[in-house]
Structure 1
Amino acid sequence: MSVHSGGSNDSSCGGAGIRYQPCCASGLLSAKLTIVVGDTHFSEEKMFLVQSCDYFRALYRSGMKECWQEEIHLKSLRARGFLIALAVLRGEMPILDGDDIVEAIECAAFLQVAPLAKHLINILDTDNCLLMYHTAATFGLMDLYRAAALFIRNMYAELEAEVRKTLPSELISYVESLSPTVFVAVGAHVTCGVDETVHAASRTVCYLDETVNNWKVLTDLPLQASTSMAGVTVLDNKLYIVGGVHGLHKQVVDSCFCYSIENNSWSRISSPAQLRYNLSLVGVDGRLYAVGGEYERTVMSSVEIYDISSGRWKFAAHLPRPAAGAACTKAMNRIFVCLWRPMETTEIYEYVPSKDEWLLVSSLIRHQSYGHCMVGHRDSLYVMRNGPSDDFLRCLMDCYSLSSGQWSSLPGHFANSKGSLFTAVVRGDSVFTLNRTMTLEYTIDGKNWKPRRQMKGFPRSGSVWTFLLQLPDSLMLQ
């Protein structure tokens, strides 16, 4: 970006109150605009600003005299906040603290910079969540306000004393009115109930009630739903099940389902154009991504995207190579997948929606070891892998920083009895892992995971799908 200091050069034309035709139709958006914030001048392409920011989009559609000016003064902002906004709009992921956070929130609210608001949500942590929450309430940045409140509610055991010391009563009341996000699990080998006799208990989705340390039934799976080799994910507090298999010959399931917490009910959604099982499913920004998988025992590289609002699937760019059951996650609102390349190489690719392509992010080479699970926490990707010689009783872990582009190995090794760490999910600054013996919560401290508490294991045999849902009190009291 171009930044310099100096005096103003007012080249506005027309008198106050004179209206013009919208500049979007005039060709003026090809020009540069000087934005003056305090004593700092920013020179930016008008089209870039219009495409990135609701404030400038509305301005250049209004036909007001400001459309024709070469210089605009933003008197309500500070330069640092606008600089941060520009950095985020260009794809950077600045880690902010203190005054930077306040100025960034002020800018995001005043200029309605949605990508900056999302970035602030993505970097919420126990150190900044109270400041984020209070400042978002002050400036009316509602998406961040709600996200910060839920973050605080989920980490309330650690934060309650500080909350009561620093926040006004109305903000405390809102946090305490929220239901916390709960840890949810369902067996990963449940096939369609219409085809075979199964024990009813195995067809239940359960959540961990942390107050009594016990697993409780949330809902039953639809009879036509299978979790065996299916894609399972949560998006906008709804549970989705796509694909899967049933029967001895692994027949593909052609029905897909959505569970709504709000209605406590299941509904069908349309199936991908290419039926698939053993796929990876991840949800970001109102879309489901069905990544790879198999069909008729053939591993595929195809990817499909389901738009929640339109209810339609469309094909996206293929994976660089076929993959089934690949570790897939989201971090900083971005989509990542682990692909294996013999010998002993785990490659991480990112899907870039604006370009509809998969880009290689980094490679991890470890002797006789591949990444089997990946979770994102802020700007870090944690890759859980088997120990040497396919030793699945040990789980080793590496961390990749999206900001620095550097790998680091977490010290020691993690017990992986019956695949517990291969089902990890992140809540706030904690990670929940699960097996039949125990639920273990880790605290993410820096780049390390430290055991925090142990709770009851999932009372079902076999591997499980795990995820997070925010349940209303009416469901938790049943």
Structure 2
Amino acid sequence: MPLKRVDHCVAVLNDFMYVAGGQVSLNSNGKESIGTLHRYDPRVNTWLQMCPMQQRRAFFHLSACDGLLYAVGGKNEQGALASAEVYDAAKNRWKFIASLNKPTYALAGSILMDQIHVCGGFSNRTFQKSFLVYDKRRDEWHTKRPLCNARGFHMMCTLKDKLYVLGGNQLNVMGERVDVSSMERYSIDVDEWITISPMMCGLSMAGITTIDQKRIFVVGGYNGQSRLREKDVQAYSAEKDEWDVLGELPQPGLRMACCTLVLPRSVFREDFSQDYSSHDSSIVNNSQISLLRRATLTR
């Protein structure tokens, strides 16, 4: 990747991987955030710098929906952001859309039924339960049923017709930041969150992706109880409602971003392809190789 960064976001659009925002310093708390957008082309294994976002953002959400990229909330040198913007890849241009109802960072989001959903985050000096959906036609954010647990720096994804929210942090009665190990599932038809099997340990700032519409993969993250960075690759089976550890990253990692992208085998060294040719066919199948399998692709 052309630029080192943390607290950034990735999304896949038209078979390209886009890496947006983040910050170049580990300890700047958003003050050294960037608005840079890079596009990775797996066909030729190259990066291209695209039009930057209109605002610098770290700790924000990025989604691909209807052929566009949406960047929501976050934090920069001015503090928490309520703004949101949309990127048109055909025009290589960003424009602002309706803002959130309050400045929020450390939120998470996902696409369900062709709609952008965001939840949680940190605002007004506390972690939030809020859950919002964006109406693209009216350019409006609508409030939905809140989460069961307030959380920020958490993970969110979609499996089939359900949203899943897991991990993150909240404040205890002493005002201290602690892990949230619980996991929630949202059903859009009844507008309801329910609690399901918790994570194996509390994690925040981990990477998350799905591959086969049956499992959720969580990569790395920070365990506040042990105060250690994690290197486990964990998988949640929606059918069994249970967690398992599949393997490890080469080294512990957090504040990363993950996605799943179809890659030609020419991107990988021949020995790498051979090493993983015997793995689960849902992870390596013909030309489909998950970004979970290489730390250099967990951006």
Aligned to 1:129: none
Aligned to 1:280: 61
Secondary structure of the residue aligned to 1:454 is strand
Q: Match for 1:414 among 185, 193, 199? A: 199
| 2:162 counterpart of 1:380 | yes
| 2:117 counterpart of 1:336 | yes
1:312 CA displacement: 1.0
Shift in CA distance, 270/444, structure 1 to aligned 2, threshold 3 Å: same
Shift in CA distance, 231/442, structure 1 to aligned 2, threshold 3 Å: closer
1:477 CA displacement: 4.2
Aligned equivalents of 1:305, 1:391: Cα separation in 2: 33
User: Deviations along 1:345-369, whole A, 9 cap, x unmatched?
Assistant: 5111011111111111211243xx4
Aligned equivalents of 1:449, 1:458: Cα separation in 2: 27
Aligned equivalents of 1:358, 1:387: Cα separation in 2: 24
Q: 1:348-387 alignment to 2 at 5 Å?
A: 348-366=131-149, 369-370=150-151, 372-386=154-168
Does the 8 Å CA contact 1:227/1:241 hold for their aligned counterparts? no
| 2:222 counterpart of 1:441 | no
Code of the aligned partner of 1:464: M
Shift in CA distance, 320/410, structure 1 to aligned 2, threshold 3 Å: same
Aligned equivalents of 1:438, 1:401: Cα separation in 2: 29
Larger Rg: 1
Shift in CA distance, 271/406, structure 1 to aligned 2, threshold 3 Å: same
Q: Match for 2:217 among 412, 432, 445? A: 432
Aligned to 1:473: 265
Mind listing any 5+ residue stretches in structure 1 that lack a counterpart?
1-220
1:398 CA displacement: 1.2
Code of the aligned partner of 1:475: V
Does the 8 Å CA contact 2:32/2:76 hold for their aligned counterparts? no
Does the 8 Å CA contact 2:98/2:140 hold for their aligned counterparts? yes
User: Deviations along 1:440-462, whole A, 9 cap, x unmatched?
Assistant: 222211xx632356223342444
Code of the aligned partner of 1:243: G
Code of the aligned partner of 2:40: Y
Q: 1:14-163 alignment to 2 at 5 Å?
A: none
The structure with the largest helix share of the pair is 1
1:269 CA displacement: 0.4
Secondary structure of the residue aligned to 1:364 is coil
Aligned equivalents of 1:385, 1:252: Cα separation in 2: 24
Aligned equivalents of 2:67, 2:190: Cα separation in 1: 29
Aligned to 2:190: 404
Does the 8 Å CA contact 1:352/1:358 hold for their aligned counterparts? yes
Does the 8 Å CA contact 2:63/2:71 hold for their aligned counterparts? yes
1:279 CA displacement: 2.3
Question: Using CA pairs below 8 Å that are at least 6 residues apart, which structure has the higher relative contact order?
Answer: 2
Aligned equivalents of 1:246, 1:386: Cα separation in 2: 22
Aligned to 2:9: 231
Shift in CA distance, 257/299, structure 1 to aligned 2, threshold 3 Å: same
Shift in CA distance, 270/427, structure 1 to aligned 2, threshold 3 Å: same
Aligned equivalents of 2:249, 2:117: Cα separation in 1: 29
The percent identity for this pair of structures is 24
Code of the aligned partner of 2:191: G
Shift in CA distance, 256/344, structure 1 to aligned 2, threshold 3 Å: closer
Shift in CA distance, 355/304, structure 1 to aligned 2, threshold 3 Å: same
Mind listing any 5+ residue stretches in structure 2 that lack a counterpart?
221-229, 271-299
Shift in CA distance, 347/458, structure 1 to aligned 2, threshold 3 Å: farther
- What TM-score results when the alignment is normalised by the length of structure 1? 0.48
- What TM-score results when the alignment is normalised by the length of structure 2? 0.74
Aligned to 1:55: none
Shift in CA distance, 262/452, structure 1 to aligned 2, threshold 3 Å: same
1:423 CA displacement: 2.7
Secondary structure of the residue aligned to 2:54 is coil
Of the structure 1 ranges 334-343 and 283-292, higher mean CA displacement relative to structure 2 is found in: 334-343
Code of the aligned partner of 1:404: V
User: Deviations along 1:214-260, whole A, 9 cap, x unmatched?
Assistant: xxxxxxx11xx232232322223322122222257543335321111
Aligned to 1:268: 49
Q: 1:203-282 alignment to 2 at 5 Å?
A: 221-222=1-2, 225-247=3-25, 250-282=31-63
Secondary structure of the residue aligned to 1:474 is helix
Aligned equivalents of 2:90, 2:156: Cα separation in 1: 28
